[in-house]
Chains A and B, each alone.
Chain A
Amino acid sequence: MAGGALLTVWLPVGITPLIGATYAPISFVIVVLGGPGKMWGSLLGGLTLGILIDVLPAFGISASIAVAVAFLILIPVLLLAREGILR
């Protein structure tokens, strides 16, 4: 829940009862990326997703494709490193 408090700084207007549906899948992807149970893994996974979602549009890739790419990197990660990218 503390994360939600920090989220309000990020979303000046935009807290609705349905934002949970946006952040639950992202959280699951981040936890799997970093490796469940590894605290620093969630920071690494979160930064990976955040940078991909924000930097790809600067290279002319549309923002919705950038979100899809951020989710798609889960597939190679699961194939190559099932315990997450953090050793």
Chain B
Amino acid sequence: MADLGLVAADLVVGLMLGCVFAVIAHGLNVIWGVTKVVNVAHGEFIMLGAYGAYYLNFYLGFNPLLSVPVDAAIGIGVGFLFYFGLLHRELRGKETITRESEMVTLVATFGLSLILSNAALAIFKGDAVGIRWAPETLALGPVDVPLGGLYVAISSVAIIAISDLFLSRTYLGNAIRVQPRHRGCATHGD
């Protein structure tokens, strides 16, 4: 039988790692699950986000949590650019997204992922970088909870909650949700 204290410590770290995975997958969930674009380049967008946070910290001294909204704003711009560069010609005016269109988005974003990762390799070089931002730990019984991970877990749950509310409660969110299935409804409104 495993040591209970060890299991508890691993459970806490696992929960926080799970929140990081969740917020990473959340971006794909919005792109693929809601708008039906199979974005194979999602990992490369995550990589760009990580570099964005690194350079915001390096040049402007931003705390990683503070760079989240800045990164999200840059991400909207970059996503807009890639959508109109790669996918708009295929998806324009479609009533529903067919299997063929899904394959087009898959192949296009696969090419984009190769371009992005190799361009990043050429620009940023292969060295591993990182931000040394580690607030103290919080002793919770026998388990030491790193506060940085805790802040990340809280913000990821908040990001998911806000997106869920936006997509289910607001007019624009409902229009985005309906759009890939039935474009007619989305443009006419109801």
Contacts and interface: CB of A to CB of B under 8 A. Distances in A.
Contacts of A2: 23, 27, 49, 68-69, 71-72, 75, 159
B29 A36 contact: yes
A31 B120 contact: no
Contacts, number: 263
Interface residues of A, number: 56
B87 interface: no
A17 B25 contact: no
A17 B117 contact: yes
B152 A31 contact: no
A13 B67 CA distance: 17
B21 interface: yes
Contact of A39 (B6, B54, B69, B167): B167
B77 to A, nearest CB: 10
Contacts of B54: 8, 15
A8 to B, nearest CB: 5
Contacts of A11: 50, 130
Nearest to A4: B49
A79 interface: no
B34 interface: yes
B17 A20 contact: no
B104 interface: no
A81 to B, nearest CB: 15
A1 interface: yes
Contacts of A1: 27, 45-46, 48-49, 52, 71-72, 74-75, 78
B43 A24 contact: yes
B151 A20 contact: no
B160 A27 contact: no
Interface in B101-143: 113, 116-118, 120-121, 124, 126-134
Nearest to B30: A39
B17 A45 contact: no
Interface string B8-52: 001101111111111111111100111000001111111111111
Given A4-B71, A5-B53, A18 B117 contact: yes
Interface-central residue, B50, B124, B163, by most chain A CB under 10 Å = B50
Interface of A: 1-28, 30-31, 34-55, 57-60
23 contacts: A3-B46, A4-B45, A6-B23, A8-B50, A9-B148, A10-B20, A13-B130, A14-B130, A15-B129, A17-B118, A17-B121, A17-B124, A20-B42, A20-B43, A20-B45, A26-B21, A30-B28, A31-B29, A39-B164, A40-B164, A50-B16, A50-B18, A58-B6
